[in-house]
Amino acid sequence: MRLLCLCLTPAFVGVLHAGEQWPLLRHTSYVVALAPEGSVIRASLSCERRASYPEWLQYTIIDSSGAELARGEVAPGDRARPRVEVKRPGIHVIELACGWNVCTCAVEGLPYAQVVKRRLPLQTIGPIPRMYFYVPGKCAAFSMFFSSSVTGEGLRLRVRDPEGRQAGTYDGDADDLQKLSLRPGPGQTGKAWSFAIEKPTTPGLALDDVLLHFSDEIPPFVAARAEWAQQLGEGGLR
Amino acid sequence: MGTTVGGRGATLMRVFSLVSFTRAVVTLVVATASAAWAGAGEDWVSEPPITYVLDYGSKHLGHPEWLDETAEAPPTLLHLGKDVPMTHNWGPIEALGGENQAYGKGDYIRRLSPQEVAGRIGGLKAMVAQLHQRGVTMVMPYICSMTVAGHHQTRTGLWELYDHWSDYSAFGLGPQPELDVTDWLQRGPDGGMVRFYRYSGDAYPAYAPNHRYAACANNPGWQHWLYSVTRLAASCGYDGVFVDNGSSQRCYCRFCRAQFRQFLMARCNSTQLDRLFGLRQPAEITLGQKGDGLLYTETLRFWLETVHKHQAAIAQAGKAVNPQFRVFPNGGHGRPENVKLAFRDSDYVMFEKSVGDYGTHPGLARLKIVGDVAVSKYNDNVYEYKLTVAAGGKPRSLVLTRAGYPRRDPDLELNHWTAYLGMAEAAAFGSGGGFLIRPQYSTFGPALTMCRGFFESHADLYSGYRPQALVSVLHFPEQKLYGNTEHLSVVKRLTRALLDEHVLFEYLMEEEVPAPGSESRRLVVAPGLEYLSRQQLRALEDYVRAGGNLVVVDPTPRADLMGQALRSDLLEPADGQVAGVGDGKVLRLARVPLAGIASRLSQMLGRSVRTLGTADGPAPRWIRANAWRRHTPGPHALVYHILNYATPLGVTATPPELQQGLELRVSAELMDGASAQAFTPERAQAVQLQVATTDGMATVKLPPFRVYTVVTVDSI
């Protein structure tokens, strides 16, 4: 019920501009958007070639009943702007599969976020300046799990609390799955936190492929805006 | 000035700037490529599938309980780890089992004394004989085409064996090779050691404090050693060897340099060397590197031929002991050029399909996204099985799949039903191949026994056929040698589209461009073929002019096999348009349509290309079909295999739902006066089917099945 109310009142809307399109997604990812009745989902998709990989981005837009509303492909180097009129208000899912190439996705005018959980980790390459996730009110502790399994690659992960203060950091190689545990202080729950992925400071280590997900306490959404992370996180969906 | 194609190296640009290319040169190179590959040949016919278990356990020798366990559901082929007298990488060591990385430290790598080796040979002979007695047809242990373990400075591992070579000569090793092990290794263009598994630190983690090295397949020292290892395995009664890293050859050592010189000189005369590569004397011939255009293409071709010879020599070493000895290299996945060229004389090839968004096991992966929203994905291995069929049935496909990699997801694991689906898929789409089952006999034993029993008691469903298809997809593995990676991607998208809409198809390789006037009732698809020889292009044009139907999917041809610009207006009508060319038609598609390909093709051909349906419309996309037609005398004229990929994956998955209401649709002339029967491993008796004919189409209602059914059409 609460989710429905949120869907009907998209209080926080916005459009990402060129140059702000991250994370760069690899393999298969899912983006969710909250769409009120009568609204239109306009996704801005791009597929970027990495090395000589030939895969095209294949996308599917699915409504809350699981029905496919649109399918399409984007060639490496191209962009697409699929548009779907919303008939069934609520959560909509955009499936993005680009193999070893990378893709980006922004949804115009609606709150949206990446789905990030153990079975659907964030599969990204390169830096992420800042993305937000929601820490629920009663969360005493949570963890972030991440890896950068290619030899010679690592990452610097910086986590910030709702006030923007550094709450945790990891810097180095991550061939195996690493864990960063965090314990919110008083007044720091029921709010959006953020993280950034940067080049590791260890000499000789590069930043490229990174996999990341959260422990089960955290709602499975990572958004470009704090208010979107909060809105989706408070909806209770898992 | 000749027109050039962008993105090539300086050498090739120089080549392209020459005014003329002789037809003779083109003919030479193409003819040489063709000569290397015999193609499917008129004599080739399909073989029954096999069941296949991979068991890398270390407790086999001296463990009778393992023999008992295996005998519960003996597979046709049992693939073991390093259960050998002498391992390829360390020499004779204490450990047994595992693959390259396993048991690479401490006591495991203690060198066995000659007396211990003799005892091990005796034990292995008895073990293999027991396996045969208990119903395993073929047993093959693990070797690797290139891995050397040890330390070149501290002289551990294979260096230690080399230093004690004479102690082991009695085992058929012959004299110590002149070259030290360090001189067996693959070298880069700069002379440095080539490593296929890069690692930081002072040691290969699985071998610490030792290293992992890559030996060169052209090196006489390594050849001598590896072929001795193989002979020793054969002497234990093994029926063949699995050869891991089957195609890992990227070497610039002195042996490779010398042999490449011979290789290129055999393919080009001095004039051609000058024109094509800017080489004035044979002494100037060097192996190419990425960016060297045609020279790199030839270098890749040389390495493939090196691998081909290496695999053949490994087989030959075994055949010296057992004339039926077989080789089973790894390296098919994502590398159709290996299947066609490097492994063309190998018996089997492994497709190690590790990475997939929903794992790679066949069947239905159901994934919850958020809330109640979930997606259903249907994994399959159809491409791999059809690829080897197109290559003439040799090598035969053996497919390894996983429930996620490196981490396994319980919801994507095989269960009884999906194991059955995997084996049925190998039977339906492949020839003589199989699907890898892990040695968990309590879980998979019943499916193994059921499938092997069905395959062997119904061999007539699988023996003596060739593909039956309305659509021939031109799949040219050699496109990759020219840098065209898009082709494989388009072929795979096309494969999925055709499967989803139940269009029967086959792949045809480079040498099989249809002849003019042939098969005008069928349809040929040319997907993403950027490089064609002028003869191939002309053959396609002639095929269409003579009444053939051709679908061209972008990217269209842009260069010949020498890199010279190539274009055919005949093959490039506007996107989505059908153009009449002579007596035939050409449809050009900028991309593979995600839906509706069957309608497009049906429209072009003037008849339905869908093989399956229901009374209400199309069959669901999780049902997939393949068909074969009789080529040698035998009981069935046509055989249709139908599978249900909505067979749920996962350790706690429910059994697949019974599939009902499906109809097979076949051209009435194929069914004229014929009878049809349905077989399935799920039911003891065959079912006689009713055939109804209307408007030139015969419809056969299929009896319910859960995973797999086979429909035979017998002429009366």
pLDDT in tens, B322-380: 999 999 999 999 999 999 999 999 999 999 999 888 999 999 999 999 998 999 999 99
Q: Which of residues 47-86 of A touch B (CB under 8 A)?
A: 52-56, 58, 60, 62, 64-66, 71-73, 75
CB contact under 8 A, B372 and A66: yes
Q: Three-state DSSP class for B224? A: helix
Q: Nearest by CB to A151, from B198, B367, B595: name it.
A: B198
- Whether B334 has its CB under 8 Å from any CB of chain A: the answer is no
Q: Assess whether the previous peptide bond of B209 is cis (omega < 30° from 0).
A: yes
CB contact under 8 A, B374 and A97: no
Model confidence band, residue B716 (pLDDT cutoffs 50, 70, 90): low
pLDDT above 80: residue A188 = yes
CB contact under 8 A, A93 and B485: no
**Quick one: CA torsion of B62, B66, B71, B73, rounded to 10 degrees?**
-150
Residue of chain B whose Cα is closest to the Cα of A67: B373
Residue of chain A whose Cα is closest to the Cα of B492: A55
Q: Give the residue carrying structure tokens 């949804």.
A: A107
Which of A8-12, A63-67, B395-399, B620-624 is predicted with the least confidence, judged by mean pLDDT?
A8-12
pLDDT above 70: residue A15 = no
Name the β-bridge partners of B689.
B676
Q: CA of B77, closest CA in chain A: separation in Å?
A: 33
Closest CA to A25 of A227, A237, A232, A224: A224
Q: With contact defined as beta carbons under 8 Å apart, do B645 and B380 qualify?
A: yes
| 3-class DSSP string for chain A | CHHHHHHHCCCCCCCCCCCCCCCEEEEEEEEEEEECCCCEEEEEEEEECCCCCCCCEEEEEECCCCCEEEEEEECCCCEECCEEECCCCEEEEEEEEEEEEEEEEEEECCCEEEECECCECEEEECCEEEEEEEECCCCCCEEEEEEECCCCEEEEEEEECCCCCEEEEEEEEEEEEEEEEECCCCCCCCEEEEEEEECCCCCCCECCEEEEEECCCCCCEEECCHHHHHHHHHCCCC
Instruction: Look at the domain A1-114 and name its fold.
Output: Jelly Rolls (2.60.120)
Output B571 or B484, whichever has higher pLDDT: B484
Which of A17-31, A122-136, A178-192, B655-669 is predicted with the least confidence, judged by mean pLDDT?
A17-31
Domain residues of chain B, as ranges?
A: 471-605, 609-714
- Per-residue model confidence as pLDDT tens digits over B35-64: 344 455 678 999 999 999 999 999 999 999
Q: Does domain A116-226 have CATH number 3.10.150.10?
A: no
CB contact under 8 A, A115 and B369: yes
- Whether B657 has its CB under 8 Å from any CB of chain A: the answer is no
pLDDT at A51: 75
Say how far apart CA B12 and CA B402 lie, in whole Å.
42
pLDDT above 70: residue B10 = no
Say how far apart CA B352 and CA B343 lie, in whole Å.
15
Instruction: Look at the domain B471-605 and name its fold.
Output: Rossmann fold (3.40.50)
Closest CA to A48 of A83, A82, A93, A99: A99
Distance of CA B399 to the CA centre of its chain: 8
Q: Nearest by CB to A91, from B371, B411, B493: name it.
A: B371
Q: With contact defined as beta carbons under 8 Å apart, do A59 and A144 qualify?
A: no
Name the β-bridge partners of B642.
B625, B709
Which amino acid is residue B74, in one-letter code? P
Name the β-bridge partners of B711.
B640, B678
Say how far apart CA B546 and CA B531 lie, in whole Å.
23
- A-chain residues near B490 (CB < 8 A): 54
Say how far apart CA B714 and CA B716 lie, in whole Å.
6
- Per-residue model confidence as pLDDT tens digits over B433-447: 999 999 999 999 999
- A-chain residues near B489 (CB < 8 A): 54-56
pLDDT above 70: residue B385 = yes
Residue of chain B whose Cα is closest to the Cα of A238: B370
- A-chain residues near B594 (CB < 8 A): 58, 71-73
pLDDT at B586: 96
Which amino acid is residue B230, in one-letter code? T
Class of domain B609-714: mainly beta
pLDDT above 50: residue B16 = no
Q: Which of residues 173-232 of A touch B (CB under 8 A)?
A: 220
Q: Nearest by CB to A95, from B375, B411, B483: name it.
A: B375
What ipTM score was computed for the predicted complex, to two decimals?
A: 0.88
Domain residues of chain A, as ranges?
A: 1-114, 116-226
- Whether B403 has its CB under 8 Å from any CB of chain A: the answer is no
Q: Which of residues 121-180 of A touch B (CB under 8 A)?
A: 149, 151-152
pLDDT at B199: 80
CB contact under 8 A, B199 and A151: yes
Closest CA to B502 of B602, B430, B591: B602
CB contact under 8 A, A58 and B594: yes
- B-chain residues near A64 (CB < 8 A): 371-373
Q: Which of residues 10-29 of A touch B (CB under 8 A)?
A: 27-28
Say how far apart CA B706 and CA B353 lie, in whole Å.
25
